[in-house]
Amino acid sequence: MNFIIAFVDFIVHYEQLQDKLSQLRDARAALDALRDEHKDRLRQQAEEQERARQSLMAQKLHIMRQKKQEYLQYQRQIALQRMQEQEREMQLRIEQQKQTGFATAQVPGQPQYQHPSYMNPPHPGTWKCFNLVDLLYFLARLIVFVWILLRLYGPSWSSAGDCTYIHVWSSSAGATA
């Protein structure tokens, strides 16, 4: 009988252990379900925050694009005003030139020296004409330039035919002397 009582106690003990194990499994399953729910809530919150952040960024981007468009429009208006002002100035210059009798081409923003003696237009719409002083000044500068080139490079600067001519002339001068 002791054996049967011990065996029944043994069975009861193992049944209690199985009950505890099943309770532990149930508790673990409930805990896992709570963890999953918590993870889902956190993921949903993160997604909502990300959507809110993207929405805010889209609003800021929209505002920035509007400001950029306004700024570009402002720049266009300023450029248009500048062009209109330059056109008015050009018209005024043309009118003044017509009134004074001068017809010259002038680049806006670059002053030009104008003197009546340099201007001799045969008919309206002609460009600046050079007088004798300008022509002589140009020729003097050209002569100085050629003289500097000859001083720097000497006869070797000229072509071989020219050097032959110089040598022939010097040799003929030596022959006559």
Q: Using one digit for the tens of pLDDT, what is the confidence trace for 80-123?
A: 999 999 999 989 988 888 888 654 445 555 555 454 444 454 55
Specify the pLDDT at position 166.
Answer: 45
Number of structural domains the chain divides into:
2
Same domain, residue pair 23 and 65? yes
Q: How far apart are CA 77 and CA 69, in angstroms?
A: 12
Specify the pLDDT at position 3.
Answer: 85
Does any domain span residue 125?
no
Same domain, residue pair 68 and 152? no
Does any domain span residue 146?
yes
Q: Which domain holds residue 136?
A: 130-177
Phi-psi group of 101: left, alpha or beta (phi > 0 → left; psi -120 to 50 → alpha; rest → beta): left
Q: What is the pLDDT along the chain (177 residues), one digit of tens a residue?
A: 788 888 888 899 999 999 999 999 999 999 999 999 999 999 999 999 999 999 999 999 999 999 999 999 999 999 999 999 999 998 998 888 888 865 444 555 555 545 444 445 455 555 555 578 788 888 898 999 888 888 887 765 445 444 444 444 444 444 444
Same domain, residue pair 98 and 134? no
Which pTM does this prediction carry? 0.38
Does any domain span residue 53?
yes
Q: How far apart are CA 177 and CA 170, in angstroms?
A: 11
Same domain, residue pair 88 and 139? no
Same domain, residue pair 82 and 158? no
Does any domain span residue 122?
no
Does any domain span residue 177?
yes
Specify the pLDDT at position 169.
Answer: 45
Specify the pLDDT at position 137.
Answer: 85
Same domain, residue pair 103 and 138? no
Closest C-alpha to 85, from 108, 102, 106, 103: 108
CB atoms inside a 10 Å sphere around CB 94: 13
If DSSP states are collapsed to H, E and C, what string results for 2-45?
HHHHHHHHHHHHHHHHHHHHHHHHHHHHHHHHHHHHHHHHHHHH
Specify the pLDDT at position 129.
Answer: 57
Same domain, residue pair 29 and 67? yes
Structural domain ending residue among the three candidates 55, 79, 111: 111
Give the pair of three-digit tokens for residue 107.
């680049």
